[in-house]
Structure 1
Amino acid sequence: MLPNGSLDPQALSRLWERQWPECPPIAHWLRGHYPDRWIRFHSLPESKRYPDSEAEYAIVLDRHYTVLAELNPSPDLLVITADWTDTPAPTPPKWPRRSEVAPAAQHWQTLIERPDDDPEFRIYTQLYAETRPWRPGIIDVALRAVADDEIYSVILSPPDLRWLYHPYDGGADVILPTTAERDALKNRHRAWLSTHSSGL
């Protein structure tokens, strides 16, 4: 963080490389690179994918905030969102909903997920980051947009990046500092796990 509260993109990149050297900040890659520290929770009973009512949205939000509170990002929550462009420049965005959900986020970095693609058809991942004072409810809009598949590739974390939380439409992937911490969190919320042997 800089003195005025804005993010230092280079410092954040260096911190990411120290904390998570095996994987760039691409949300859906995390579980594959850190399987021994990964756990997935489903956001609705019986692994239902999408909420259909306000009561189900309440369950989705309650599960997210329950886990986040136990992870304890206090005092601030780092919110990383993504967009995609046809050029290395961060505009024009393909998903304007991202800027609606996180209008204060600063551009962090540009990544190429598939560098072997034909350059004429290459898609660039634009990452944005911001910090928000942590409290339950602080990211309701973003979590509801994720639940509705309006945005994706969101990563939540404390500013020191000691753990990573990736909500998706149907649940959340959590990457913990150690396998023991992963197992403890898993045991506290076994009812929210997949019944599939892969954990997905």
Structure 2
Amino acid sequence: MRPDPLAWWHSEFGEIAPRGHLLRRALSAQWVRFHSLPESKRYAESLDEYAEIEHRHCLVASALFSANEPLYVFRALGEEARLRGKAKHQLAGRQFREAVAVMQPESLGQDEEDRMYVRALVCHWKPDFFEAAIRLLADWKAVGISFVSPATKNIFCPYDGGMDVFTHSIAPEELRARFTDWLSPRPDGL
């Protein structure tokens, strides 16, 4: 039987879309944010900085996911682009399913920004796909992506400038201690 990531997400997290800023409100006890570059720099300007972004993201994700572990990759956007011809919704060469779910949790209010169109794909934890996706996210060429383990419910939400992590199998304090230098100096962790 083919896995259904959208049904799985809905059964585990309800109508909260797999997007870092929305999950932070609902799962604040499991949340940790790490920055991609020193001094909270948002965008890379050199190959060394791109290497640092990939290094940090891969290390944090490797703390959450095991080699070849099945993952669900979600894309949650505020609006759904209409594609023409044979174009498909995809990320780094992997195609999202044709189904789309509209999620807007009542508990978070009825703001337009809380309504998300969510697509999903099934893959395995392999750095080659992950690194290509991180590069797109770092350059703001892709947004709203979350990597999720259906086995552990760990959630990795990379964005341009960092990553929001929601952990269920590791204590957030353990991740903070492991990657202390990549935390925000702000009291709210942002």
What range is the shorter-chain TM-score in? Answer: 0.7 to 0.9
**1:102-148 CA deviation, whole Å, 9 max, x = no partner?**
5422134332558566xxxx997432211223222322221111111
Q: Distance in 2 between matches of 1:100 and 1:188?
A: 29
Q: Distance in 2 between matches of 1:111 and 1:34?
A: 20
Specify whether residues 196 and 103 from structure 1 end up closer, same or farther in structure 2 by C-alpha distance, changes over 3 A only.
same
| Structure 2 gap segments, 5+ residues each | none
Q: Distance in 2 between matches of 1:55 and 1:38?
A: 28
Residue 38 (str. 1) matches residue 31 (str. 2):
yes
| Larger RCO (alpha carbons 8 Å, 6+ apart) | 2
Specify whether residues 148 and 134 from structure 1 end up closer, same or farther in structure 2 by C-alpha distance, changes over 3 A only.
same
Normalised to the residue count of structure 2, the TM-score between the two structures is 0.81
| Equivalent residue for 2:19, pick from 18, 26, 41 | 26
SS in 2 for 1:79: strand
C-alpha deviation, 1:54, in angstroms: 1.1
Q: Matches of residues 95-106 of structure 1 in structure 2 within 5 Å?
A: 99=90, 101-106=92-97
Partner of 2:74 in structure 1? Answer: 80
1:43 and 1:170 in contact (8 A); partners too:
yes
2:17 and 2:116 in contact (8 A); partners too:
no
Partner of 1:159 in structure 2? Answer: 150
SS in 2 for 1:17: helix
Partner of 1:181 in structure 2? Answer: 171
Partner of 1:197 in structure 2? Answer: 187
1:39 and 1:186 in contact (8 A); partners too:
yes
SS in 1 for 2:147: strand
Normalised to the residue count of structure 1, the TM-score between the two structures is 0.77
Specify whether residues 97 and 139 from structure 1 end up closer, same or farther in structure 2 by C-alpha distance, changes over 3 A only.
farther
| Structure 1 gap segments, 5+ residues each | none
